[in-house]
Amino acid sequence: MSITPENPGDLNRRTLLRRAAAAGLLVTPAAGLLSACAGSEPEKSDNGGTAKSKDNPFGVKDGSAVKVVVFNGGLGDQWAKEDKTIFNAKHPNITVNMSSTQKIKTEEQPKMATQPSDLVMNSGADSMDRATLINEGAIEPLDDLLTAPAWDGEGTVADSLLPGTVSDGTQNGKFYVVNIAFTVWGNWYNAAKFKQEGWEAPKTWDDFFALAPKIKAKGMAPYVHDAVHGYYPRWALMASIWKSAGKQVIVDIDNLKDGAWKADGILKALEPWEKLVKDRLLLPGKLDHTQSQQAFLDGKAAFIQVGTWLKNEMAATIPPGFEMTLSDYWTNADDKAAKDVFASSGEGFVVPSKAPNKEAAKEFLRAILSKAGSAKFAELTKSLASTKGSGDNVQDSALSSANTLMKNGSSDLISFKFPDFYADLDKESQNLSEELMAGRLTAQQFVDKMQAAADKVAKDSSIKKQTRTA
């Protein structure tokens, strides 16, 4: 994700995957405004005279070209090639120059102030810092995309998106980032192995710690995780905090509220992770994301926590008969939000402010978010798109378990925003998450250090502060 996820502020998976799925930052346009672009009366565009219409709401010029850069991570790039076909079926006289890379920041950031690409998928470990892009005016607000007609359905683009997608891409009251994937996170296991051994997938931490000795007796580690990229363990830690302490505590953390990291429930959420490490239930070794995922597939560990990009990223090495199944993060007794699921939009596209063909970039985004494009995305990646109904016709056990998890969850989706808001706090949280999972910090030390890092940001008047309302 990547959805490869990234760093998730990452949703890559990672930017996957940063995104608070129900962050509530958006000022929703009025209903009348949402439908304003769908009228039949063509109007002149501001890009040289091409008429705007329902099928061409941005007035894209025939004969023009659009440069699209795609992140080629855990989800691959074949889905984007399908979108190119969908786009050119409606706009055959517009040239789409598409390229794929994993070095987004390295290759694209130097061009942002001079000759940027028209549309950039800002995802992966080498992604550009979103807050910096917005604060420096380097990327274009895309609120007009939300009010444009959906590509192949009724209503507007905004109407077609899953909950949280708009708020995930909104900052300072404006919509900047179009997240095209919808990731669900949790603990993965091999249902076939569990059936063979007569094991029941844990729902609580007590269940897990009771099952762990049986797993070890079979020569497997109970758990494995990415020990190289700190945003991986941070996902699990923040999800546990939300479940234990409740949504308002995470909102307070995101808003740098004084003492937010000392709230009731936070330490309780982190102590099972500390115990997991101290009890030597982790597979030894400093493995990265693909190495840890391969160890899981090889049967060296019973559980791994990642998002729904997992199956597509590891498709080439999944053993025959392996039933990749997603379960929710484990909870403690009396958790305040045990049924809330960690799911959000990620894999975000941005349009540089100095892009030469912004109109075509926005039009290509409409194609990506179309029903046809989203269905292809789900089919090819075995992950949900951020457009409603993308996985309805996909027959896949891994995707089905994610859908089931979503259906059984509450209406609130777990989300946290501080990695998107503050780059330094993002980095420190990753470092401290790694330290906790390496056994070099206790849960209490983690909390103390995170509070100190948050206090430092809060007291720095040179840092522009962000506010999350829900």
Match domain 185-343+415-459 to its CATH number in 3.40.190.10, 3.40.50.10490, 3.20.20.140, 2.30.29.30.
3.40.190.10
- The average pLDDT across 149-178 equals 92
pLDDT confidence tier of residue 246, bands split at 50, 70 and 90:
very high
pLDDT at 139: 97
Q: What percent of the chain has pLDDT over 70?
A: 90
Q: In the predicted model, is pLDDT for residue 323 greater than 80?
A: yes
DSSP single-letter state for residue 339: T
Q: How far is the C-alpha of 314 from the C-alpha of 293, rounded, in Å?
A: 8
| 131 in Cβ contact with 141 (< 8 Å) | no
DSSP output for 177-201: -EEEEEEEEEEEEEHHHHHHHT---
pLDDT confidence tier of residue 144, bands split at 50, 70 and 90:
very high
As a whole number of Å, the end-to-end CA separation of the chain is: 25
Reading phi first (left if > 0) and then psi (alpha if -120 to 50, else beta), residue 162 is in: beta
Q: How far is the C-alpha of 14 from the C-alpha of 8, rounded, in Å?
A: 2
Give tens-digit pLDDT for 9-68: 334 443 433 333 333 322 333 333 223 333 333 344 455 557 899 999 999 999 999 999
Query: Nearest to residue 3, comparing CAs of 123, 99, 105?
Result: 123
pLDDT at 426: 96
Q: How far is the C-alpha of 400 from the C-alpha of 323, rounded, in Å?
A: 11
pLDDT at 35: 30
Q: How far is the C-alpha of 353 from the C-alpha of 174, rounded, in Å?
A: 14
pLDDT confidence tier of residue 403, bands split at 50, 70 and 90:
confident
pLDDT at 47: 52
- The average pLDDT across 385-397 equals 84
| 221 in Cβ contact with 282 (< 8 Å) | yes
Q: How far is the C-alpha of 243 from the C-alpha of 414, rounded, in Å?
A: 8
| 171 in Cβ contact with 129 (< 8 Å) | no
Pinpoint the alpha helices (H) of 246-343. Answer: 247-254, 266-278, 289-297, 310-313
Q: In the predicted model, is pLDDT for residue 256 greater than 60?
A: yes
Give tens-digit pLDDT for 79-129: 999 999 999 999 999 999 999 999 999 999 999 999 999 999 999 889 999
Task: Count each helix (H run) and each strand (E run) in the chain, helices first.
Answer: 19, 14
Q: How far is the C-alpha of 337 from the C-alpha of 434, rounded, in Å?
A: 25
119-121 vs 65-71, strand pairing mode? parallel
44: β partners: 51
pLDDT at 394: 77
Give tens-digit pLDDT for 365-381: 999 999 999 999 999 98
- The SS3 of residue 346 is strand
Match domain 65-183+344-407 to its CATH number in 3.40.190.10, 1.20.120.420, 3.40.109.10, 3.40.50.720.
3.40.190.10
What's the token pair of residue 301? 């560990």
Reading phi first (left if > 0) and then psi (alpha if -120 to 50, else beta), residue 442 is in: beta
pLDDT at 50: 78
Backbone dihedral angles phi then psi of residue 399, each to the nearest 5 degrees: -65, -35
CA dihedral sign of residues 66, 69, 72, 73: negative
Q: How far is the C-alpha of 360 from the C-alpha of 146, rounded, in Å?
A: 15
Q: What percent of the chain has pLDDT over 90?
A: 74
- Sequence letter at residue 248: Q
> Mean pLDDT over all residues of the chain?
89
| 119 in Cβ contact with 351 (< 8 Å) | yes
pLDDT confidence tier of residue 358, bands split at 50, 70 and 90:
very high
Q: How far is the C-alpha of 169 from the C-alpha of 180, rounded, in Å?
A: 10
Query: Nearest to residue 261, comparing CAs of 422, 451, 418?
Result: 451
Lowest mean pLDDT among 65-74, 271-280, 461-470: 461-470
**Number of residues in the chain:** 470
Task: Please list the residue range(s) of the chain that carry CATH number 3.40.190.10.
Answer: 65-183+344-407, 185-343+415-459
Q: How far is the C-alpha of 20 from the C-alpha of 28, rounded, in Å?
A: 17
pLDDT confidence tier of residue 351, bands split at 50, 70 and 90:
very high
pLDDT at 48: 52
- The average pLDDT across 269-273 equals 98
Q: How far is the C-alpha of 257 from the C-alpha of 107, rounded, in Å?
A: 37
